[in-house]
Amino acid sequence: MAEGRFTNPVVASLAGIRDFFAKQELESRFSDRDRADGKTVLVTGANSGLGFALAVEFARRGARVIMAGRSKIPEAGERVSRVAGSDLVEMRYLDLSRIETIHQFTESLKQDGTRIDIAIFNAATALPGSRKTESGQDEMFLVNYLSNVILSQLLIRKGILNQGPSELQSKIIFISSDSHRGATAIDYNEFGKYFEYGVSKGISNYSYFKLVLNTYATELSRRINQQGVILGINLICPGPVHSNIVKEAPWLLRMVLKGIFWVIFKSPAKASRPVVYMALSEDYRGTTNQYLHMFNPKQMDPKVYDPGEGVMLWERSMALLREIDPQSSEYATNGSP
C-alpha cells in the first residue's frame, strides 16, 4: 500500500519547525527588481493562502494575473487588484475536481488568444478522508495529481504555453512539498482507484501524491526538453505556510493545527518569496527540473528521477484518463505533448 512520509497531522506540522529556522541559501538573490511587466501569469488555487499571495506579488510586479479557482470569484480577484494597485487581474472558474472545467478553462484561454508566460500549479487540498468525485476518483488524487496532468497537457497542446529559446519560453512551476521525500514508491495496484479511508491515510496521501506529482513533472520535462530546454518545468516547496490548507480537518484537530500554524508557520506573503524568485530571477531562466525547498536548491527524492518510473506513471495516467475523460483524445497519448 502506498504511504506518504507522515500519517499524523500534528507530527507533519511540527516537521515544519526545522524548516522555519533553516538557513535560506539563495534568499539574498530575491529582489524587488525582478519585474513581471508584460508577462501573463496563471496561478491555480489563487483565492486563498499561498496562491493569493502569489497573485498579489506578481500583480505588484506588473504582470497580468489570471487567478484560477472554484470559489471567491470575483471577490478574491478584486482584493488582489486593490492590494496590488493593478487593474491587470482577472479571475476564472476552474474546479480541479471536475475534469470538464479544466477543458472549459483552457478552451476559454485559447479562444481569447491568451499566452501564459508563467503557470503556477499551486492548488491542492488536504482532506480528512476519502471523497468520491463525479468522475469516480478520490478527490485528493484528482485535485493534487491527475488534474495537474490534464491542465499541463492542455496548456501545452493548445499552444497557450510557449516553447522555444529561453527568452521566449514559458515556465511551469509545480508547488510541491518536501514531505514527498520518504513516501513509498508509486503503488499501481491502487493507482486511480477509489477506496474509503480516514485522517491518517489522508495525511499520508497528501505527501504521497506530491511524490507522484514530482515524478510526473520530471517525466514531462524529460519528454519535452529532450534536445535542450524549450519549456522550463521546475518545482518548489514553499515550506510551512500559515494558510487554509487544514480547513476541512475535524474541529479539534483544526484548532491544534491552527495553533501550530500561528506560532511557527510563515505568512503566505513570506512563503511566496522563493516562488516569485524562481519564477522571475535570471538564475532560473532556461532551467528545467530544478527543485527548491524554500530558498534552498535540493535534489528531490531519488525515486522521482527514475526514468522507468516516469514512463510507467505517464502510461498509467494516460490510460486512466482515456477511461474517465470523454475529451481525452485531445491529449492522452503515450507520446510527448
Ligand X SMILES: NC(=O)c1ccc[n+]([C@@H]2O[C@H](COP(=O)([O-])OP(=O)(O)OC[C@H]3O[C@@H](n4cnc5c(N)ncnc54)[C@H](OP(=O)(O)O)[C@@H]3O)[C@@H](O)[C@H]2O)c1
Using rule CB under 6 A, residue 240 touches ligand X? yes
Residue from 99, 154, 233, 237 binding ligand X (CB under 6 A): 237
Q: How far is the CB of 193 from ligand X (least distance, A)?
A: 19
Using rule CB under 6 A, residue 122 touches ligand X? yes
Residue 53 or 230 having the CB closest to ligand X: 53
Spatial distance between the Cα atoms of 113 and 40, rounded to a whole number of angstroms: 12
Residue from 4, 9, 51, 77 binding ligand X (CB under 6 A): 51
Q: Is 282 exposed, middle or buried (0-12, 13-18, 19+ CB in 10 A)?
A: exposed
**What's the 3-state SS for 239-278?**
CCECCCCCCCCCHHHHHHHHHHHHHHCECHHHHHHHHHHH
Residue from 36, 55, 84, 96 binding ligand X (CB under 6 A): 96
| Nearest of 211, 225, 223 to residue 291 by alpha carbon | 211
Q: How far is the CB of 95 from ligand X (least distance, A)?
A: 4
Tally of CA atoms within 13 A in the half-sphere of 281 that contains its CB: 18
Count of other CB atoms within 10 angstroms of residue 327: 15
Q: How far is the CB of 150 from ligand X (least distance, A)?
A: 12
Residue from 80, 99, 124, 154 binding ligand X (CB under 6 A): 124
φ, ψ dihedrals at 172, nearest 5°: -110, 135
Using rule CB under 6 A, residue 184 touches ligand X? no
Residue from 15, 24, 62, 70 binding ligand X (CB under 6 A): 70
| Site for ligand X, rule CB under 6 A | 45, 47-51, 69-71, 94-97, 122-125, 143, 175, 177, 237-238, 240-241, 243-245, 265
